[in-house]
Amino acid sequence: MTDRTSPPGPVRAPAREGQFTHLRLDKVSRRFGDKLVLDGLDLRIAGGEFVALLGPSGCGKSTALNCLAGLLPLSGGGIWLDERRVDTLPPERRGFGMVFQNYALFPHMSVRRNVGFGLRMRGIARQEARARVDEALRLVQLAPYADRLPGQLSGGQQQRVAIARAIVIEPPLVLMDEPLSNLDAALRLDMRTEIRRLHQSLGLTTVYVTHDQEEALSLADRLVVLREGVVQQVGTPEELYRSPANPYVAGFMGYRNLFAMTVTGGEGGHATARGLGIELTGVAGEGVGSGPATVAIRPEDFLVGEPPADAENVIEVGVEVVEYHGRELAVQARLPEGQALRLRTSTRVERGETVRVWVPKDRVLIFADATAISPQPGPPQSGAPDATGSGQETAAEASAS
């Protein structure tokens, strides 16, 4: 849906009433007991921007969103809409729209009454409220369902009701917490397009929480990758995809192969690393010198077959698992010392075969951070190369070591 080479810029629709220039999170912290779940989160979001908070389960995404919404008090720091401090205000005075994973609709109220609930609470006159509800239902293409109860709707339709309810109050900020997780794959794609369309056409500012890297990349103007409550990297989808700051972010951006190796030399912006019975040359990240490092490679960057004479990074691997994925095969192979290597190829390979694979050195990233460990034995990657949560195990493995 999104053209990745030119990420969509913020602010496309006319400014909304109550719109702000910047939302600022200033050293926001949140503790639960002894546990610091958000640790000094600094973030600046421009009005009209779509920002995704991305990270694995437990990294603090929902906590950050709930702090923004006013559902959780901060343990430290502040939240500002331009010059106005909002973290001291109760949720209803912030007036943000919220969409949750579980829809949170009132089961006994019709779609129309659910959508109009926030307007009734705000004392909006009946006639105006009705017109606004009609318009919101039209926007989410649910006008024909206005008189149904939520239980008479599909999951996707219920989520549209939740979205209509959030936007009908014309909030300066819409907060979405994994709104698509309960939907099936096809519906998720449709709703993703829908959310982006609404965001653009209404000029909303949206903060969207997800653990799904593909969802974040396709929806957001900017991504914020969180790890244990600490921001790892903030950037456009293209920046994060092309230049992840560390192995953890790389894991999220589809670098499913994270190898703990040792740098033995290097020149001209490249470094060479040894370990696991192989040698690899790649782009040297900041601070890479001799010593332990993490080498990151995307499964789809390997080439398979008889390497040309000038092929870089040629290695021999034993094919262990082959999954058919239409145009491509998802393959799990073993390095000489037994570590798993994941690759995707349209070249036919068979289980049990020993094959030569190679990867151009400019497709290999070498990080000074040596905390990643090699992916553990397991099934090959499923779905698209960077499909839902595909980087998660590797990121989790990275954080586990």
Ligand X SMILES: Nc1ncnc2c1ncn2[C@@H]1O[C@H](COP(=O)(O)OP(=O)(O)OP(=O)(O)O)[C@@H](O)[C@H]1O
In the complex, the residues that contact ligand X under the rule CB under 6 A are 32, 37, 55, 57-63, 211
Secondary structure in 3-state letters for the chain: CCCCCCCCCCCCCCCCCCCCCEEEEEEEEEEECCEEEEEEEEEEEECCCEEEEECCCCCCHHHHHHHHHCCCCCCEEEEEECCEECCCCCHHHHCCEEECCCCCCCCCCCHHHHHHHHHHHCCCCHHHHHHHHHHHHHHCCCHHHCCCCHHHCCHHHHHHHHHHHHHCCCCCCEEEECCCCCCCHHHHHHHHHHHHHHHHHHCCCEEEEECCHHHHHHHCCEEEEEECCEEEEEECHHHHHHCCCCHHHHHHCCCCEEEEEEEEEEECCEEEEEECCEEEEEEECCCCCCEEEEEEECHHHCEECCCCCCCCCCEEEEEEEEEEECCEEEEEEECCCCCEEEEEECCCCCCCCEEEEECCHHHCEEECCCCCCCCCCCCCCCCCCCCCCCCHHHHHHHHHC
Rounded least distance, CB 341 to ligand X, Å: 29
Residues paired with residue 304 on neighbouring β-strands, in sequence order: 357
Rounded least distance, CB 210 to ligand X, Å: 8
Rounded least distance, CB 78 to ligand X, Å: 19
Residue closer to ligand X by CB (options 43, 115) is 43
How deeply is 292 buried, as exposed, middle or buried, from its count of CB atoms within 10 A (0-12, 13-18, 19+)?
Answer: middle
Rounded least distance, CB 180 to ligand X, Å: 13
Residue closer to ligand X by CB (options 60, 97) is 60
Residue closer to ligand X by CB (options 61, 132) is 61
Residue closer to ligand X by CB (options 249, 330) is 249
Residue closer to ligand X by CB (options 191, 209) is 209
Residues paired with residue 46 on neighbouring β-strands, in sequence order: 22
Rounded least distance, CB 211 to ligand X, Å: 5
Rounded least distance, CB 235 to ligand X, Å: 19
CA 68-74-75 angle, 5° bins: 155
Nearest to 95 by CA among 162, 148, 167: 167
Rounded least distance, CB 103 to ligand X, Å: 16
Residue closer to ligand X by CB (options 230, 283) is 230
Separation CA 56–CA 392 (nearest Å): 7
Rounded least distance, CB 226 to ligand X, Å: 7
User: Residue 142 to residues 2, 212, 286: CA-CA distances in angstroms?
Assistant: 25, 27, 51
Rounded least distance, CB 206 to ligand X, Å: 17
Residue closer to ligand X by CB (options 55, 254) is 55
Q: Sort strands 303-304 and 354-358 into parallel, antiparallel or unpaired.
A: antiparallel
Residue closer to ligand X by CB (options 199, 211) is 211
Rounded least distance, CB 66 to ligand X, Å: 7
Residue closer to ligand X by CB (options 177, 312) is 177
Rounded least distance, CB 37 to ligand X, Å: 4
Residue closer to ligand X by CB (options 55, 247) is 55
Residue closer to ligand X by CB (options 75, 371) is 75
